[in-house]
Amino acid sequence: MKKLMLVGATGLVGGHVLQQALADPAVAQVVAPTRKSLVPHAKLLNPLVDFERLPEDADWWRVDAVVCTLGTTIRVAGSQAAFYKVDHDHPLEVAYLARRHGARAFALNSALGADVASRVFYSRTKGEIERDLQAVGYPSLTLVRPGLIGGQRQEARPAEQWAVRVSKLLQPLLPRRYRVVPADRIAHHLLQAALAATPGVHVLPSEALL
Ligand SMILES: NC(=O)c1ccc[n+]([C@@H]2O[C@H](COP(=O)([O-])OP(=O)(O)OC[C@H]3O[C@@H](n4cnc5c(N)ncnc54)[C@H](OP(=O)(O)O)[C@@H]3O)[C@@H](O)[C@H]2O)c1
């Protein structure tokens, strides 16, 4: 049985990872640091944290594996710099701290098109976090790259919701990599990769998640 850390548990994909991990007999405990409290559960440890000031020596960093589904939008974050903190700096710091305390597997919710050479800031940020995670030294690293994510969001994201609707209509005509990926499928792949901890760096493209 394993101890799993989940960052991003209050989000769409993270919420599915949380439910699946709590129900999985292979998981002894889920450590989910968040800004807002989660619904209590016997298997859940939910430290409330400020990601700008993570407690470096907390005991709860001692886990076997980490799933990261942190992320924001430039609109919500307010600037590219603020977005970069959430999608790059915080995941990297979590990765370092958990690795320092013994974690051996890390699974990241990245995105289709992640590329350090991209002209698109979002895709470049995802490329940079993928690159920088590889330098942290996890024996097992999984980079999951969904296209559009499908699922029920509380926050209104009109452009994204429109794109999801159009993609769903065009689904039969679209190549598999451009189809909407249900959030629970992404969660399944993240969780199982983190638990399996297969040595090496593994990239799961969008079409592999369907
Ligand atoms: N939307 C898409 O179609 C799409 C496509 C491909 C890849 N992705 C990527 O997939 C990942 C997960 O997406 P999602 O839709 O599940 O995200 P989401 O529902 O927006 O959830 C994001 C998570 O990040 C946390 N977070 C945001 N800002 C934070 C901050 N300043 N400090 C600490 N935590 C913060 C949120 O916590 P709070 O509840 O505290 O805000 C939440 O737990 C993201 O990295 C996203 O870029 C998204």
Residues 6+ apart with CB under 8 A from 70: 7, 8, 11, 14, 51, 86, 87, 90, 91, 94
Mean pLDDT of 165-180: 82
Atom index in ligand 1 nearest the CA of residue 9 equals 43
**What are 96-154's pLDDT values in tens digits?**
999 999 999 999 999 999 999 999 999 999 999 999 999 999 999 999 999 999 887 77
What is the pLDDT of the chain when averaged over all its residues? 95
Determine the 3-state secondary structure of 2 from DSSP.
strand
Q: Is 72 close to ligand 1, i.e. is its CB under 6 Å away? A: yes
pLDDT of residue 63: 98
Model confidence, pTM: 0.96
pLDDT of residue 165: 84
CA dist 24 and 187 (Å) reads 13
pLDDT of residue 106: 99
138 catalytic per annotation? no
Q: Please, are residues 45 and 29 in contact by the beta-carbon 8 Å criterion?
A: yes
pLDDT of residue 8: 98
What domains are defined for the chain?
A: 2-149+182-208 (3.40.50.720)
pLDDT of residue 164: 77
- State in Å: Cα 182 to ligand 1 middle: 15
**What are 61-88's pLDDT values in tens digits?**
999 999 999 999 999 999 999 999 999 9
